[in-house]
């Protein structure tokens, strides 16, 4: 079986477990007033799990490409050294560092740093363009989450806002 189908199988198992959690365990602790809402906190995870299951099944069954292309796989697992695995691993490590520094550094500093360093890892070198774009993106995301959705998101580090 080709590498893309093995990955699809792993994603299928993960999305089935995620879907089980979304459908059967997330809604039990909702207060009664939220149970009458049309959209629950588990609505997006339910949609996401169904889409992931359908997509991984399409890849697993080979329905995404015509039979003529089945001669040579897209990803050759014997040549994994030819791919940019270092960049991918570094990006995953950056995501972990971002998650760990989000609270102590605040949203703006952590997000601007994450986006800038991730773009640099991927090869972007025009920092005079990159930094304003990441700053605007971080502010827009913060504004949408904080003001539109009403979810508190600490914008600056604790020592800068006094507490």
Co-location of 136 and 90 in the same domain = yes
Residues 146 and 104 in one domain: yes
Assess contact for 46 and 24: CB atoms under 8 A.
no
Question: If you average pLDDT over every residue of the chain, what do you get?
Answer: 83
Give the lowest-confidence range in 54-68, 85-99, 149-163.
Answer: 149-163
pTM: 0.56
Q: Domain of residue 113: give its range.
A: 85-161
Total number of domains in the chain: 2
Between residues 138 and 62, the one the model is more confident about: 138
Task: Tell me, yes or no, whether 74 and 96 share the same domain.
Answer: no
Residue 10 sits in the same domain as residue 43:
yes
Predicted confidence at residue 163, as pLDDT, reads 55
Do residues 94 and 41 both lie within one domain? no
Out of 80, 104, 134, a domain closes at: 80
92 & 59 share domain: no
Higher pLDDT, 126 or 154: 126
Domain boundary among 60, 80, 100: 80
Output the DSSP codes for the chain. --HHHHHHHHHHHHHHHHHHHHHHTSSTT--TTTTTSSS-TTHHHHHHHHHHHHHHHHHHTTTTS-GGGGGS-SS-GGGGGGS-HHHHHHHHHHHHHHHHHHHHH-HHHHHHHHHHHHHHHTT---HHHHHHHHHHHHHHHHHIIIIIS------S-HHHHT-
Task: Indicate if 119 and 143 belong to the same structural domain.
Answer: yes
| Residue 94 banded pLDDT, cuts 50, 70, 90 | very high
Task: Verify that 113 and 140 share a domain, yes or no.
Answer: yes
Instruction: Give the count of beta carbons closer than 10 Å to the beta carbon of residue 158.
Output: 12
Question: 132: pLDDT confidence band, cut at 50, 70 and 90?
Answer: very high
Residue 162: its pLDDT value, please? 63
| Model confidence pLDDT, tens digit, residues 12-40 | 999 999 988 888 887 777 777 777 777 77
**C-alpha to C-alpha distance for 157 and 151, rounded to whole angstroms:** 17
Could you say which of 80, 100, 117 is where a domain stops?
A: 80
Q: Residue 26 burial by CB count (10 A; 0-12/13-18/19+): exposed, middle or buried?
A: middle
Q: How confident is the model at residue 145 (pLDDT cuts 50, 70, 90)?
A: confident
pLDDT at 77: 66
* Shared-domain flag, residues 106 and 155: yes
Look at 157 and 77; give whichever has higher pLDDT.
Answer: 157
Which pLDDT band, with edges at 50, 70 and 90, does 5 fall under?
A: confident
């Amino acid at each position: 079986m080709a590498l893309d189908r093995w990955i699809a199988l792993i994603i299928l198992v993960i999305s089935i477990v995620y879907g089980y959690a979304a459908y059967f365990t997330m809604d039990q602790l909702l207060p009664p007033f939220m149970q009458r809402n049309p959209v629950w906190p588990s609505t997006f995870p339910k949609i996401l799990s169904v889409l992931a299951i359908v997509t991984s099944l399409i890849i697993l069954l080979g329905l995404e490409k015509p039979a003529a292309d089945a001669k040579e796989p897209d990803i050759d697992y014997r040549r994994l050294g030819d791919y940019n695995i270092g960049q991918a691993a570094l990006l995953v490590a950056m995501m972990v560092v971002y998650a760990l520094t989000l609270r102590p550094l605040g949203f703006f500093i952590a997000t601007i740093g994450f986006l800038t360093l991730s773009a640099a890892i991927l090869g972007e070198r025009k920092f005079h363009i990159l930094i304003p774009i990441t700053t605007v993106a971080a502010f827009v995301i913060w504004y949408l989450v904080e003001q539109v959705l009403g979810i508190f998101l600490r914008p600056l580090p604790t020592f800068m806002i006094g507490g």
